[in-house]
Structure 1
Amino acid sequence: MDDGKPTEPRAKWWSRPTAGPATTDEAPEPAPAQSAGSADAPVSAEAPTVSVPPATPGAPEAHDAPEAPAVLDAPHDAPGEAPAPQPLHEPDPYGTPPYGGPGPWAPAPPVQRPTPAHGTPVPPPYAGTNGAGISVAPPPAPQDPHPPAPQWQSYDPWGAPRQPLVTQPGPPLPDGRRKNRRGAMLVGALILALVAGGIGGGIGAYIERNGGLTSVELPQDERDGGGRAPDSVAGIAASALPSVVTLHVTGATESGTGTGFVLDDRGHILTNNHVVAPAGSSGEITVTFSGGETATAEVVGKDSGYDLAVVKVSGVSGLKPLPLGNSDNVQVGDPVVAIGAPFDLSNTVTSGIISAKDRPITAGGEKGDGSDVSYVNALQTDAPINPGNSGGPLVDTDAHVIGINSAIRAADSGSAGEGGQAGSIGLGFAIPINQGKLVAEQLINTGKATHPVIGVTLDMKYTGDGAKVGGSTRGSSPVTAGGPADKAGIEADDVITEVDGKRVHSGEELIVKIRSHRPGDDLELTVTRGGKDLSITLTLGSATGT
């Protein structure tokens, strides 16, 4: 392909073909010869006129004859030449051949070349022929006001591949300057990192110490809390807590924790017998006061039947005794406060009411011989009492002691004792302080307590209503000879149903009611014998407790 380099006019494939030799009898009129100088004359811009003889019927098709070169008209202004002959008819604008030649093809669209980059020289357009086979000169190239650089002058995007263009780089920098510049950049980066790290660390430390860049102050009631009413729980606790102590008992085989309260300024402290029992005869008892002071205590006296004990601390001053109230004046529903060390949590305060009075309970019995069983005509309360509260005070609204917390009813085992380490279910029992006062006075004065007795042996297996006196056997009697019952006329197999007009339902309940009195008190008993009810007056005797 010689695209862009034509040497002579050539007819394209869509140009109108020239007629072949004539097949008719008449010879075609020869065309006048061109002068020698016409070949060098410039080509006219106008389309030349081509003479085509008329088609002869029966003549072979035009495409079977060899093509003859088209005759170009010389320019009209050439000097010394005759005017060219004109055709007898107007030229066919479509150039339609007479016998099935190529159709009236439209000129091909101009070649779309890619737009080169700015400043890139573009090769001249294709200088070929037009549709009539006439050579057409390319239009003049526009002048670029900004001539390209010399390295782009020989660039031809349509030409054969050549060697890649090589741009001339600038003069290289000296090695010293490169190294200095790189080193300066590294030093600057390190300095920036150190400064940023120091600033960030300082800000983080400040925020951690101060909780933020700004301090937050929440609104709060600035009013003075003031005092509390003396009969409120807070007022009662403030008054009673300085008199309450925590006992830590350590023995040879066991240990325990309980509570007590100060009876007088000589250092006597009242608590439960089962609290100090683990110490035995050689154990140690440590008393901790509400302020944290500690002292060693020794046992003054104890009684298992009442489940009460008195210990004494020495060398302690500033003791504050807790006032004692009157448990006979307590009414069901009265508010009460319990203070103690449940599970060794000292100075714990709970509150509730008196749920019931004269509730007969028994506690202990771990030895199995009955010697450690206590019988209590107790006050029942719903103030939470837990293991560790034993021996602590149950106080009224005047902060006066009305009971000694001793037992709870446990839901898991049903036991009334506190040794099972069960939690409170709202059934707590306290020894009335009137009974506790009598026993404490006896223990402080004599070291032992006396129990009121009637002088009979009861049948504890009796399931009927009331307390039944045991039956007679050969050589023994359930009624102690010369005792209070013998003197009052009570016999074997009698059933005691009332004491001072109050119904008795079991032997334990009879013992509890008797223990709530002092020796020498007179009791009115109702006894059933042989289906008949008898009224008997009995004077209580005494016995030394253990």
Structure 2
Amino acid sequence: MPSARGPGPSSRSRARRLRADPPPEPEPVPPARLPPRGSACLLFPNPVPSPRRSPRPGFLPRPRAGLPGPAASSGPSPSPPPVPSPGPSPVPRPGPLPGPRGCSCRPQRVGRLLRAGPGAFGGRGDGVLGGVRSRGRSGALRPGSISLCAGPGGGSGRWVEMRESMDLGERGRAGADGGPVEPWARYDPWGTAPESPYEQPAEPGTRARRRGVIVAVALAALVTGTLGGYLGARYERDGGARTLVLPDPAAGPERPAGSVADLAARSLPGVVTLRASGAGEAGTGSGFVLDGRGHILTNNHVVAPAADGGALTVTFSGGQTLRAEVVGRDAGYDLAVVRVRGVKNLTPLALGDSEGVQVGDPVVALGSPFDLPNTVTSGIISAKERPVTAAGEGEQGGISYVDALQTDAPLNPGNSGGPLLDATGHVIGVNSAIRSAGGTGEGQAGSVGLGFAIPVNQARWVAGELLDHGRVAHPVIGVALDSREDKDGALIGSDEDAVTPGGPADRAGLAPGDLVTAADGKPVTSTEDLIVRVRAHRPGDRLRLTYVREGRAHEVTLTLEAED
């Protein structure tokens, strides 16, 4: 709204006057033809370049889309006033100057722009852009703005006045009358570029430079994130900043003498694995060293495939493999002695006494079950003097009769010939047979807890015979037994020659048809039982027999002889 007080000098603004064509002294404008309030003044951005940002030569602001441009004028357009370049030193800020002559309007505050038609200001010329929103009661120009007032007349006789405000006070920044801040209120000709309703074209290469900066920042972020993740993972894995200290290994348990670990450590160097092949047969078994000369004791059925020109090798616990030769073997006792040459520092195993073994004594079995060397199992003695008859493998195996030690230590195919140790590490038996789910013998079914070993006392004697003579003389009583009928004992045949004339049985008074029911006080329930009891002795030993004749029991003692 026009103020009653005319514009006067102000210390917060300075003015320049520009006349396109110097007009004669303007006549006063009648009050009735004064321009409507709020439509005679225009505020727009100061085109004076900022010292901090200089526009390109010839640059003109372009209005934003949707805003009308200036109307065409029928008269000649005044030349734009020269824009002085700001000097190196700040421009002083004078006080407000008086308003233009003949213009009764006050400087207005622009809210939006519109086109004014002809005669809008009481003259005959074309309309100009005018503001439609009053700037309030302050009467001062907005900071960094230019006021354009239109006077009477038109065509070449009109004049304009531009006033540039240098007022940078808080009122101009906050908006007149406490109103909202307009975009132009933040304009500062000596500061950074304000938000403008006009778009300015970007400098050539600006977008390319921006894209380069974005790519560089993205790559830096990627590298930094990757490195940070790696360092964080290392930090977390290593337990943070603390030094990772692992506890010292705990001391192992003590292994007293006689423990399974102690027995295995001391005995395994003397245990070997034997592989025999020949005549279309092959087998694997175990054995142990008898002496430092290279003699090894094993089962007969282990070396039987190599008996007639086959191949036989011995592998020690350390992995050394040597060829071996058969010194002697016996199918009836299922024992054999082989020898290796050219080896030193052997570890012979000590032989114990099988007569002193008691049921329940702990035992350890060593061998190569299923060709797995250095296998150790443990158990107890389950029974003693168990009569076992086992058929060897192949034609060379034969049938063995063993008064065996029974153990529940797991024995499997391949354990045959290996040692059975007592708690002191002495050999008390030679593992020979197992009873599997399918029957008796070295079946492939595996252990069911019923294993049998030849007592070491018998094995020692047989091994000595084989080393000295290459063969073993079996003890006999001089009778032929009839196994066709089950009589709950061993039945002597009914033929006249069933009892060898002059033999041990004939001299003791035994006759054909007698039924032997006990030997040395131990029951005899079958023909095999009597053979086992006899084979448990040596030639020259005395044997007490109990027999039944015509329903009456009799007892005799005889001396065993060697078989021819």
Same fold by TM-score, threshold 0.5 exceeded? yes
Quote the sequence identity (%): 55
Superposed CA offset, 1:425-465 (max 9, x none):
22111100111011111111222122111222211232121
Structure 1 residue aligned with 2:474, among 444, 447, 451?
451
What is the aligned partner in structure 2 of residue 182 from structure 1?
211
How far off its partner does 1:505 sit? Answer: 1.1
Map 1:46-445 → 2, pairs under 5 A: 145=177, 168-197=197-226, 200=229, 219=247, 222-223=250-251, 225=253, 228-364=255-391, 372-410=398-436, 412-413=437-438, 415-418=439-442, 420-445=443-468
Change (3 A) 1:316 1:151: closer
Q: Which residue of 2 aligns with 1:157?
A: none
- Structure 1 residues 108-157: Cα deviation after superposition (integer angstroms, max 9, x where no partner): xxxxxxxxxx9689xxxxxxxxxxxxxxxxxx9997637899999xxxxx
Q: Could you tell me how far 1:271 is from its partner in structure 2? A: 0.7
Paired with 1:218 and 1:505, the residues of 2 have a C-alpha distance of 67
- Partners of 1:525 and 1:168 lie apart in 2 by 133
Q: Distance in 1 between matches of 2:460 and 2:539?
A: 15
1:499-543 Cα offsets, whole Å, 9 max, x none, are: 122221111100000000011222222221111222233222223
Deviation at 1:258, TM superposition (A): 1.5
Q: Which amino acid is 2:210 matched to?
A: R
Give the whole-Å Cα distance in 2 for the aligned partners of 1:188 and 1:222.
54
Query: 2:182 & 2:449 partners in 1: Cα distance?
Result: 109
Question: Which amino acid is 2:469 matched to?
Answer: T
Q: Distance in 2 between matches of 1:499 and 1:383?
A: 29
Question: What CA distance in whole angstroms lies between the structure 1 residues aligned with 2:239 and 2:558?
Answer: 80
Aligned to 1:489: 509
Query: Quick check: 256-265 or 233-242, which moved more?
Result: 233-242
> Could you tell me how far 1:201 is from its partner in structure 2?
5.3
Deviates more, 1:514-523 or 1:246-255: 246-255
Q: Deviations over 1:45-91 (max 9, x none)?
A: xxxxxxxxxxxxxxxxxxxxxxxxxxxxxxxxxxxxxxxxxxxxxxx
Q: Deviations over 1:238-267 (max 9, x none)?
A: 322221112233335233221111101100
Q: 5+ unaligned residues in a row in structure 1: which ranges?
A: 1-117, 122-139, 153-166
Secondary structure in 1 matching 2:440: coil
SS of the residue corresponding to residue 346 of structure 1 reads coil
CA-to-aligned-CA distance 1:178-226 (integer Å, 9 cap, x gap): 2222223223323432454355457668988x79987765646644655
Match in the other structure for 1:60: none
Distance of 2:182 and 2:504 partners within structure 1: 147
Assess if the C-alpha contact under 8 Å between 1:364 and 1:374 holds in 2. yes
- What SS does the corresponding residue of 2:370 show, helix, strand or coil? helix
Structure 2: 5+ residue stretches without partners = 1-109, 114-133, 138-175, 185-195
Count of aligned pairs: 386
> 2: distance between equivalents of 1:188 and 1:141?
46
SS of residue in 1 equivalent to 2:272 = strand
**TM-score (normalised: structure 1):** 0.64
Q: Is the contact made by 1:120 and 1:148 (CA closer than 8 Å) also made in structure 2? A: no
Correspondence 1:518 to 2:527: no
Q: Name the Cα RMSD after superposition.
A: 3.3
Q: Which amino acid aligns with 2:177?
A: P
1:185–1:530 CA distance, 2 compared to 1 (3 A): same
- For the 8 Å contact 1:302–1:310, the answer to whether it is kept is yes
Larger radius of gyration: 1
Determine if contact 2:136/2:177 at 8 Å carries over to the other structure: no
CA distance in 2, matches of 1:237, 1:148: 98
Distance in 2 separating the partners of 1:270 and 1:509: 26
CA distance in 2, matches of 1:445, 1:357: 29
Q: Is the 8 A contact 1:119 1:146 kept in 2?
A: no
CA contact (8 A) 2:391 2:397 kept: no
Alpha-carbon distance in 2 for matches of 1:243, 1:371: 26
Task: Output the CA distance in 2 between the equivalents of 1:213 and 1:389.
Answer: 57
**C-alpha distance in 2 between matches for 1:401 and 1:150:** 111
Q: State the distance in 2 between where 1:446 and 1:259 align.
A: 24
Counterpart AA for 1:487 = R
For 2:475 and 2:182, how far apart are their aligned partners in 1? 138
Residue type of the alignment partner of 1:379: L
User: For the residues of structure 1 that align with 2:344 and 2:269, how far apart are their CA atoms?
Assistant: 13
CA positional deviation for 1:359: 0.5
**Cα offset for 1:308?**
0.7
**Does the 8 Å CA contact 1:119/1:149 hold for their aligned counterparts?**
no
State the TM-score, normalized to the length of structure 2. 0.62
What CA distance in whole angstroms lies between the structure 1 residues aligned with 2:379 and 2:232?
A: 55
Q: Partner letter of residue 354 of structure 2?
A: S
Inter-CA distance 199–379: structure 2 relative to 1 (3 Å threshold)? same
Which one has a larger percent strand, Structure 1 or Structure 2?
A: 2
Question: Within 2, Cα distance between the matches of 1:190 and 1:427?
Answer: 75
**Aligned residues of 1:500 and 1:523 also touching (Cα < 8 A):** yes
- 2:429 and 2:360 map into 1 onto residues whose CA distance is 15
Please give the secondary structure, in 1, of the residue aligned with 2:482. coil
